[in-house]
Structure 1
Amino acid sequence: MRYQPHTDEDVRSMLETMGLDRVDQLFSSIPEGLRLKAPLDLPEALDEQRLFEHVGKLASMNRIEQMQASFLGAGVYEHFVPAVVGQILARGEFLTSYTPYQPEVSQGTLKAIFEFQTMLSEILGMDLANASMYDGAHATAEALLMGLRIRRKATKVLVSSALNPEYKEVSKTYLSHLEGAYVELPEKDGLTDLSQLDASALDGVAMVMVQCPNFYGSIEDLEAIKTFCTAHDLLFGVCFSEPLAYGLVKAPGAVGADIAAGEAQSLGLAPGFGGPLLGVLACKIEHVRMTPGRLVSQGLDTEGRESYVLTLATREQHIRRARATSNICTNQGLMALACTIYLSLVGKQGFRELAELNLARAEYAKAQLCAIPDVTLVYDAPTFNEFVIRTPKPAAEVVRFAAARGVAAGLNLGRVDAAHHNDLLLAVTEINSREQIDLLVQLIGEMLLL
């Protein structure tokens, strides 16, 4: 990139406009002790051609190994994304870093966000969804704070230990200023365990938050948990990392959840290196004024034409920071658009068929893997497209053996909890053919014979 410096006259004019005499006055907010006193020790400058050559040499140091198959999941999933999604995203009307701050700016952008909200509301079975959050962990943390806002006298939330570990860590950070607010519920056999809770443990509780399917892939009994919450007058929150499951599994809204929050990456976004991601938060209409993030609504302009507008913006932007429902003041607009395009292409029937295909592939993999001697399922709960197996050898060794042969054999759960050092968390989607599954089974079988 060519650099064209300012002339002395340019600098003088800008300083005069700002009412300053010297350039170093621009840095007066930086303490004297932290300022650089000597020139940076930088290598010789390169022209454009030499710079390209240098970057090329650096890039050649990367190890690029073509994986034959990947069974990684744990919150980020690989699904087939039609090429048209990327083509539409690349259009100049959408590919911009600008966020529409004014209520009626950019009708095309606002309409796209409105469609995203509508589609996610339908999938989750909720009255409304916001314009998106940063990612599933962020959305979950905001949902917990939202629960505490709704129940103003409450001081804590109950969070299932079967949530994605990263969701739990982010939530703990968000609630760290509220001492004792984050209380973790135990899990038993891969599912949230409410049996040990007595009346005293529920004092001051605003809500219960579970994940479905949870981190282990197990499908929680949401109806039973909702019954528990109703009996004790608690809000019920459901988070998720694989919303495709709701093509078959009852959606949060269908079982009476008050808030649903999570990750929508699996609906049109590539895994990348773990991002970019797409958080979403949905809720019942009575909680709309407590909802974080932006909301786009549909209406009519002064000439009776269909129009879109940022609504109830005073909740989180045009208000004092301490009183705002959140301070995100933005959204993952481009990622939300990718999700909207993807869902438009898939359609309602296609969404269900895709969910059925994921389930079928996962069940086939489960059966084949458990046919290997000494390989067992860790949990008996029903699953969607992700499950945990236990091998007689450390999972880390299994992962290394398979990776050396071009297969990502899931997540070594020992990285999350040492007690799971022999356990593998595997995700199987429509991307994984029977041939790939058979290869995985073959490699694990070979490794266990060594």
Structure 2
Amino acid sequence: MVGYKKKSSGAWSEILSKKLQNQSGCPLRMWRYKQLEKFLSIGFPDRKTENWRYTDISPISSQIFLFDKTTADLDITDFAIENSYRIVFVNGCFSPALSNLISLPEEIQLSPLRTILKNYRKRNFVKKIPILQTPFSLLNDGLFQDGMFLHIPKNFELKKPVHFLYLMKPNLPFSMTQTRNTIFLEENSRASVLEEYFGTFCCPTKIYFNNIVTQIIVGASANLAFYKLQQENNSSFHIANTQIKQLRNSQVVSFHCLMGGKIGREDLNYSLAGQGASCRLLGFYHLKNKQHIDNHTCVDHKSSGCTSQQIYNGIIGNKSKAVFNGKILVRPEADKTVAHQNNKNLMFSNESEINTKPELEIYNNDVTCTHGATVGCLDDETLFYLYSRGIDRLTAEYLLACAFAEEITAKLPCKIISERMYQKIIKKLTLSVHSSEEEAL
């Protein structure tokens, strides 16, 4: 953890020290105590930290955020997905009134994490799932108040998608959530999971901080489709760490769609720990109006015969900044590895910025690995073709941006979620076009 501050800011140190003194009766008390101590010893990352050199999180480290109360007085009609198992959290707290687990098969365990932590065996399972330790994951270890636990048993296929819906309607000036999600698919099981985060119910200037850790284990020959949509309000901070461990012959497709937040950071780490495991990482991000979104991915090939593919597309609008750092790591024992990575970015303003950094770290000669990154503007010939047919500039840019997004969403395996994601993207692009006729996307 070289490069981190030696200690966190004074205000955070004070409130966390009080938290350490009030852990009595808390599940995993000693473990959480140690994790908070580790965080206090290193503090928040700064721009001197290599993995954070393009992202300034001082707006988080310099401000104290507090846990908020929940409310059930929300109309979630526009957020619900038909034929899904829905579990809802408001301000980080589970809302039974807004959730819908009707017809959930009795073999499936889908529960708030608070319930699971009352069971000693499950409690220890939660803490033993490997998570790469970062300042924000350590902070989450010590503070997480709730989240979801999903367990799919051996040889079971869950027909409907599972929908984790996280909504913010803060009561406090600076509220926060510390959310922990745990997903476990046993051997030869199958499931689709959607995580969504919305700041729709609060005003655009409301400042809040969400810090999320999602732990996933995919058993031998199991199949998981994992989707995430982040649409926080544009004054918020969203930091997330997702860790996926795959065993022999397992298959995972993930899609991360990031369009909200003033500062958004997404760390996605795959561990291909079993022979023949395969994963496909798909991503889309759209920024505008001084937004900052930072994607860090790492696929760690630990076993032979594994395959991975990373495809991320980004649209960067006026005065916004994006970061993409994608890494492929091939261990000495991971022969017959096939790994590909590609990052494409469309710039819609001379004032926007993208820092893209593909990485290959290979310790085996029997591999096939490629990586690529492109940054550019819309093609002049294509634009001229649309202009010549009476299409104005903004509409032409909008149509091409939609096609650029559909390159990714068309690859998603679940049709219901694919269409939902595409419509959310289209809505954001439409709002971007019509927000100002004098600006690009």
Larger radius of gyration: 1
Q: Which has the higher contact order (CA 8 A, sep 6+)?
A: 1
TM-score by length of structure 2 reads 0.23
Which structure is higher in strand share? 2
Q: Give TM-score, length-normalised by structure 1.
A: 0.23
